[in-house]
């Protein structure tokens, strides 16, 4: 039986989207690199940013891959691949697909959705995520102008404002993790502790690698411990 | 000095132009996908189910989309914002990735060099995620039992605490005064409403942090 979800046509669409994202990323990388060189930014710093970002990205990317595999049961591989490659998010794709399936009286739990539901899901997942990019095209330049104005008028407050936003973002996830049960709390604390150890090793032993890879090391270590905690606590 | 400022200004103008063009093309590309599916398979969604599916999603994700732009763009800078909002996965990947790169480079976020580093970080991250997804498509059969194994389930379920524990230590140890109000507020909210969506609470937390920072700044406490 013809599997439209995993057809060559769908994978061709996926390949086009992946190519688009790759080219765009390379253009931005090149533009930023040239500007960095022009500003006299040390090439070593920029190379470290590339390497540390590449290593850090591996683990969260596995979680994105897992979402793709989860959705592949009902939607095939190509559509989740497309949706998670461009203007997509782990937290968005599954609820969007579920809402669309429910609206058609179907479910994602089965082996595969019918073609009409598949088409509906593709439309809902796409149209539902467009507000952020449209807002950026319309207002981001103006918004950035306002932030720059604050920094020009009072640089210290401008810097504090951005730090406060960082801390606000992190605090919301800390609160969520602290209220998420014992395994979640222990994982959070373990991650923080491994980070402390990495910083100490970098500062006391002078091993730069511990600074560059402190975040991925903390993440992977804490995730491994989460398996242990869940086994011990039955969570 | 004037030359440097003019050059920075021209970079700023250029990155907004490039960013808008790429983002517009990205919107066309993503819209082309369902359009191509409908044309190729000759199946168009009926208006009723389309609205029925879209309305609940848009009620939640339109405000989140706008709030994410307002909250994340000052941290990321222009280039990284255009790219991160095209490639997606902001809170769980692109924003922490940029924060991490800035921390390692010892560069202030929001500065002109911060703009460069965060753009490089987000571009690299997008390329790596793209590659991982391509490998996942090619090795689907081999990877599925491994990634979906019950043994690894608690690890993936706790990926956000594992990420934000380390990031939290890094930033809160440096800005602990800024963190007191938002962390306390978030813990209270999540204890009262454990299922509260984090996406909606990020701006609440950020606003409380900004208000507390402004108050302490005015009173010379930070």
* One domain, residues A142 and A182: yes
Contacts of A51-55 with C-beta under 8 Å, sequence gap 24+, read A51/A212, A52/A212, A52/A213, A52/A215, A52/B100, A52/B101, A52/B104, A52/B121, A53/B97, A53/B100, A53/B101, A53/B120, A53/B121, A53/B122, A53/B124, A53/B125, A53/B128, A54/B124, A54/B125, A54/B127, A54/B128, A55/A212, A55/A213, A55/A216
Task: Provide DSSP, B121-132.
Answer: HHHHHHHHHHHH
For an interface test with A, which of B59, B152, B154 has the most A Cβ atoms less than 10 Å from its Cβ? B154
Residue that is last in its domain, among A129, A146, A170: A129
* One domain, residues A85 and A18: yes
pLDDT single digits (tens) A88-136: 787 788 888 988 988 888 888 766 789 999 999 999 999 998 888 999 9
Would you state the pLDDT for residue B3? 44
CB contact burial B53-64 (16+ within 10 A = b; e otherwise): bbebbbebbbeb
Show residues of chain B in contact with A100, CB under 8 Å. 49, 53-54, 57
**What confidence category does residue A150 fall into, taking pLDDT thresholds of 50, 70 and 90?**
confident
* One domain, residues A143 and A224: yes
Inspect the interface and report whether the beta carbons of A16 and B29 lie closer than 8 Å: yes
pLDDT single digits (tens) A162-183: 888 888 888 988 888 888 889 9
* One domain, residues A116 and A63: yes
Residue that is last in its domain, among A129, A148, A169: A129
Q: Does A34 touch chain B (CB under 8 A)?
A: no
* One domain, residues A43 and A98: yes
Show residues of chain B in contact with A107, CB under 8 Å. none
For an interface test with B, which of A10, A14, A35 has the most B Cβ atoms less than 10 Å from its Cβ? A35
CB A39 within 8 A of CB B121: no
Diameter of chain A measured on Cα atoms? 67
SS (H, E, C) B3-57: HHHHHHHHHHHHHHHHHHHHHHHHHHHHHHHHHHHHHHHCCCCCHHHHHHHHHHH
Inspect the interface and report whether the beta carbons of B68 and A132 lie closer than 8 Å: yes
Inspect the interface and report whether the beta carbons of B50 and A123 lie closer than 8 Å: yes
What's the complex ipTM? 0.86
Q: Does A215 touch chain B (CB under 8 A)?
A: yes
Report the distance separating Cα B85 and Cα B68, nearest Å: 9
Residue that is last in its domain, among A129, A154, A185: A129
* One domain, residues A142 and A212: yes
Q: Identify which has the larger pLDDT, B11 or A225.
A: A225
Report the distance separating Cα A52 and Cα B107, nearest Å: 15
For an interface test with A, which of B1, B11, B23, B34 has the most A Cβ atoms less than 10 Å from its Cβ? B34
* One domain, residues A108 and A209: no
Closest CB to B58 among A86, A128, A156: A128
For residue B114, give the nearest of B126, B101, B123 by alpha carbon.
B101
Q: Tell me the nearest-neighbour CA distance from B35 into chain A, angstroms.
A: 8
For residue A36, give the nearest of B85, B23, B123, B91 by alpha carbon.
B123
Q: Identify which has the larger pLDDT, B194 or B119.
A: B119
Among A26-30, A157-161, A196-200, B137-141, the range scoring the smallest mean pLDDT is A157-161
CA of residue A91 relative to chain centroid, distance: 9
Q: Tell me the nearest-neighbour CA distance from B126 into chain A, angstroms.
A: 7
- Put simply, the chain B residues between 6 and 65 with a CB less than 8 A from any chain A CB are 7-8, 11, 14-16, 18-20, 22-27, 29-31, 33-34, 36-38, 40-41, 43-46, 48-54, 56-58, 60-62, 65
B147: Cβ contacts below 8 Å, ≥ 6 apart = A62, A65, A66, A69, B156
Q: Does A160 touch chain B (CB under 8 A)?
A: yes
Question: Has residue B166 got a pLDDT over 50?
Answer: yes
Boundaries of domain holding A199: 138-233
For an interface test with A, which of B50, B55, B134, B169 has the most A Cβ atoms less than 10 Å from its Cβ? B169
Q: Does B180 touch chain A (CB under 8 A)?
A: no
State percent of chain A over pLDDT 70. Answer: 98
- Put simply, the chain A residues between 42 and 71 with a CB less than 8 A from any chain B CB are 45-46, 48-50, 52-54, 56-66, 68-70
Show residues of chain A in contact with B16, CB under 8 Å. 140-141, 144
- Put simply, the chain A residues between 79 and 118 with a CB less than 8 A from any chain B CB are 81-82, 84-92, 95-96, 99-104, 115-116, 118
pLDDT single digits (tens) A34-53: 999 999 999 999 999 999 99
* One domain, residues A121 and A26: yes
Closest CB to B148 among A69, A100, A161: A69
Structural domain total, chain A: 2
pLDDT single digits (tens) B26-44: 999 999 999 999 999 999 9
Task: Provide DSSP, A66-93.
Answer: HHHHHHHHHHTTHHHHHHHHSS--HHHH
Show residues of chain B in contact with A50, CB under 8 Å. 120, 124
* One domain, residues A148 and A123: no
* One domain, residues A147 and A122: no
* One domain, residues A27 and A112: yes
* One domain, residues A36 and A125: yes
pTM given for the model: 0.86
């Amino acid at each position: 039986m013809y599997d439209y979800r995993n057809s060559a046509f769908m994978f061709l669409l996926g390949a086009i989207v992946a190519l688009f994202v790759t080219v765009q990323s390379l253009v931005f990388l090149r533009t930023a690199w040239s500007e960095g060189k022009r500003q006299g930014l040390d090439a070593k710093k920029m190379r470290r940013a590339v390497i540390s970002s590449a290593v850090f990205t591996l683990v969260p990317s596995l979680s994105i891959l897992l979402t793709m595999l989860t959705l592949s049961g009902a939607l095939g591989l190509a559509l989740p691949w497309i949706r998670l490659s461009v203007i997509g998010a782990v937290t968005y794709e599954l609820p969007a697909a579920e809402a669309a399936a429910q609206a058609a009286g179907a479910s994602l739990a089965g082996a595969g959705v019918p073609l009409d539901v598949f088409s509906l899901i593709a439309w809902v997942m796409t149209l539902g995520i467009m507000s952020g990019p449209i807002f950026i095209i319309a207002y981001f330049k103006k918004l950035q102008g306002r932030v720059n104005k604050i920094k020009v008028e009072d640089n210290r407050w401008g810097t504090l404002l951005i730090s406060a936003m960082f801390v606000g973002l992190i605090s919301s996830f800390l609160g969520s993790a602290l209220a998420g049960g014992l395994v979640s709390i222990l994982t959070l604390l373990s991650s923080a502790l491994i980070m402390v150890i990495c910083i100490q090793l970098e500062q006391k032993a002078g091993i730069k690698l511990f600074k560059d890879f402190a975040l991925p090391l903390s993440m992977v270590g804490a995730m491994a411990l989460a398996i242990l905690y869940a086994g011990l606590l039955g969570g | 000095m004037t030359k440097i400022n003019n050059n920075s200004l021209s970079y700023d103008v250029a990155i907004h132009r490039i960013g808008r063009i790429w983002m517009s093309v990205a919107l066309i590309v993503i819209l082309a996908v369902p359009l191509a599916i409908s044309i190729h398979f000759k199946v168009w969604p009926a208006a009723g189910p389309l609205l029925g599916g879209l309305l609940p999603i848009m009620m939640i994700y339109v405000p989140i989309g706008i709030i994410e732009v307002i909250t994340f763009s000052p941290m990321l800078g222009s280039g990284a914002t255009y790219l991160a909002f095209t490639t997606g996965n902001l809170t769980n990947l692109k924003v922490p990735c940029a924060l991490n790169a800035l921390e390692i480079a010892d560069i202030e976020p929001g500065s002109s060099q911060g703009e460069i580093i965060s753009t490089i970080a987000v571009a690299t991250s997008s390329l790596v995620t793209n590659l991982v997804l391509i490998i996942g498509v090619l090795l689907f059969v081999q990877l599925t039992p491994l990634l979906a194994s019950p043994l690894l389930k608690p690890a993936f379920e706790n990926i956000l605490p594992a990420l934000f524990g380390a990031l939290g230590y890094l930033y809160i140890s440096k800005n602990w005064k800024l963190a007191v109000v938002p962390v306390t507020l978030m813990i209270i909210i999540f204890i009262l409403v454990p299922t509260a969506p984090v996406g909606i609470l990020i701006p609440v937390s950020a606003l409380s942090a900004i208000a507390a920072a402004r108050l302490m700044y005015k009173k010379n406490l930070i």
